[in-house]
Amino acid sequence: MKARHLAAAIVMISAALAESVTSNAQNMKKEEVPQTLSVFPVGEANVQYAEYFSGRSYLARLTRNAALNCPVSNVTFEPGCRNNWHSHTGGQILIAVGGKGYYQEKGGPARMLLPGDIVEIAPGVVHWHGAAPDSWFSHLAVECNPQTNENKWLDPVTDEEYAEAVSIRTPVSAYAAERYSEWYPSTVGSMEKTDPELAAVFRNFAFGDTQRYGDLDTRTRIMVTMASAIAMNAGDTYRNTLQAALANGITPDEIKAVLYHAVPYAGMSKVADMIPAANEFLASRGIALPLAPQSATTPADRMEKGLALQKSIFGADHIDRMYETAPAGQRHIQEYLSANCFGDYQTSPVLDVRTRELLTFAILVSLGGCEPQVKGHIQGNVNVGNDKGTLLAVVTQLLPYIGYPRTLNAVTCLNETIPENK
């Protein structure tokens, strides 16, 4: 009985919301067509495609030279207007230039579009776009592959579908959506369906705010996030970064190198939990296992090569002093560091020394409670060419995943090791 009452209430709320959105849009439609919505002309009433739009729209063709094979038009929607669900066989690019609008792919969350936002629509993706219920909206439509591109028009976006799309309190920004798609092409996470508000807040922060900071390339962002996930034993995040890695040119050897690199810092117990996930993922992509060996040392030379690498990063005087000051009963730890940590793991040529030091920094700040080691590897990073700005960009990238306490501890270590005035 309670379930029926709840279902009825949900239907009533949805209907009321849809009616409210429709009413607001109709009131806004009475306004004159704004001629200063953007720097581009509004154009004439879009009569040619009117049957595929709910509400009035206007079309201004901006390019005329057919030989350029790049048709560009400015499309303007009155409040509440949207086009039908549709796809393009050759894809399309939208550039928001005025007002406020929305874009939604079938099965995914709607996202708000503001001037300057860009949407890249892959061939065959079913979607719609249009104005917010309380705002006019203009975007440039760039037709891709015009020689073979065809529109496939489908059903109208119902009032209920539209009301649900625009009722999202925290829509994912276009920038965050693009970065997310760069990491995870054609992937809709489960959290979008079960916890859409949290998913939107996190995606805007992790793929919008923090990825706007710093000059890290996508590969580096993915690898340090992957290393951080291993350190925290965060299985779902690690599996997600595996998808992102392969989608962005990170090789299977590099994926395994990041995993192996974490052993001396996070411990084999955590790494062992991630090995099945990595192997299952690679096997599912048709990659034969095991991969080629990565080791560059033998039992006979691991100490010599590891010590040489250690000194090249931290300086011979510093390493010699660590050996000299170690109590007799603790010298074996220094030897293990040289032979095992550096000799067994870090001499592998799959990743260069600068990348490895960034990975080490990411692992240590993610573990927490490793501040003395964090400071030591901050200096190691600087010695191999990673400056404070790069390290701060890594910390910023990891913030959504490791939280503020560990992030602030890492920033304190950075400032103490490399004061701001230096």
pLDDT tens-digit readout, 313-334 = 999 999 999 999 999 999 999 9
Strands 111-113 and 86-88: unpaired
pLDDT at 77 over 50: yes
Is pLDDT at 403 greater than 80 in this prediction? Answer: yes
Residue from 206, 239, 199, 234 nearest 221 by CA: 206
Burial letters for 100-117: b for 16+ Cβ neighbours within 10 Å, e otherwise? bbbbbbeebbbbbbbbeb
- Residue 193 corresponds to which tokens in the numbers above? 């369906």
pTM: 0.69
At 185 the pLDDT is: 77
Beta-carbon count within 10 A of 132 CB? 26
pLDDT at residue 41 greater than cutoff 80 = yes
Report the alpha-carbon distance of residue 166 to residue 174 in Å, rounded: 15
φ, ψ for residue 419, nearest 5 deg = -55, 150
pLDDT cut 90: percent of the chain above it:
78
CB 148 within 8 A of CB 90: yes
- Residue 178: pLDDT band (50, 70, 90) is confident
Q: Which residue has the higher pLDDT, 191 or 107?
A: 107
pLDDT exceeds 50 at position 124: yes
Q: Is residue 24 scored above 70 in pLDDT?
A: no
* Tokens read off for 370: 């490793």
How many helices (H) and strands (E) the chain has is answered by: 17, 13
**Residue-averaged pLDDT of the chain:** 90
pLDDT interval class at 5 (50, 70, 90): very low
Residue 3 in this model has a pLDDT that exceeds 50: no
Cα distance between residue 261 and residue 223, in whole Å: 11
Strands (E), 124-271: 127-131, 137-143, 151-153
Residue ranges and CATH numbers for the domains of the chain are 27-168 (2.60.120.10), 173-212 (no CATH), 213-294+348-417 (1.20.1290.10)
Q: How far is CA 86 from CA 118, 121, 165, 200, 403, in A?
A: 18, 11, 16, 24, 40
Q: According to the model, what pLDDT value does residue 7 have?
A: 38
List strand residue ranges (DSSP E) for 266-385, in order: none
Residues 130-148 pLDDT 10s: 999 999 999 999 999 988 9
pLDDT category at 184 given cuts 50, 70, 90 is: confident
Amino acid at 272: A
Encode pLDDT of 380-393 as tens digits: 999 999 999 999 99
- Please compute the mean of the pLDDT values over residues 156-162 and round it to a whole number: 95
* pLDDT-based confidence at residue 2 (cuts at 50, 70, 90): very low
Burial of residue 364 (CB within 10 Å: 0-12, 13-18, 19+) is buried
Pseudo-torsion of CA 201, 204, 209, 215, nearest 10°?
140
**In 286-354, beta strands by DSSP E:** none
pLDDT of 79 strictly over 80: yes
- State the average pLDDT over residues 347-362: 97
Peptide bond into 109 cis (omega under 30): no
The answer to whether 54 and 25 are in contact (CB under 8 A) is no
Q: What is the pLDDT of residue 110?
A: 86
Q: What is the pLDDT of residue 15?
A: 44
